[in-house]
């Protein structure tokens, strides 16, 4: 039997991202492969507790990574819509923290 994994990347390194990343320890169909932050230092610090996960500087870098199938968007709220659109344009599956947008017009 072949088990296929959804290879996940996380945009943002806040506390909610950490909880999401920790959940992969019990996941049977998903694997965390990369985390991106606006700064390399933040990405490096985040992955210290997640061996094998790539730390990436810049959200664009993660979206361009062919090893990432889906992204969890946990950026500050005003950036959710921008990165959801960018992830869709990059062909990634998306799980976005709420709110998706700040108003009806953005949605």
Distance CA 48, CA 73 (A): 20
Per-residue pLDDT, 106: 84
Q: Which of 18, 19, 54, 98 is catalytic?
A: 98
**pTM for the full model?**
0.93
Active-site annotation holds for 98 = yes
Q: Give the tens place of pLDDT for each residue, 82-100.
A: 999 999 999 999 999 888 8
Considering only CA atoms, which of 4, 1, 2, 10 is closest in space to residue 70? Answer: 10
Spatial separation of the C-alpha atoms in residues 32 and 70, rounded to whole Å: 10
Question: Each residue of 40-89: pLDDT tens digit?
Answer: 999 999 999 999 999 999 999 999 999 999 999 999 989 999 999 999 99
d(CA 71, CA 78): 17
């Amino acid at each position: 039997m072949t088990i296929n994994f959804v290879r996940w990347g996380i945009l943002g390194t806040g506390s909610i991202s950490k909880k999401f990343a920790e959940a992969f320890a019990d996941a049977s169909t998903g694997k965390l492969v990369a985390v991106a932050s606006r700064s390399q230092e933040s990405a490096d610090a985040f992955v210290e507790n997640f061996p094998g996960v790539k730390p990436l500087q810049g959200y664009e870098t993660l979206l361009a990574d062919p090893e990432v199938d889906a992204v969890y968007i946990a950026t500050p709220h005003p950036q959710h819509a921008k990165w959801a659109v960018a992830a869709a344009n990059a062909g990634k599956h998306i799980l976005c923290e709420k709110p998706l947008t700040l108003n009806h017009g953005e949605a």
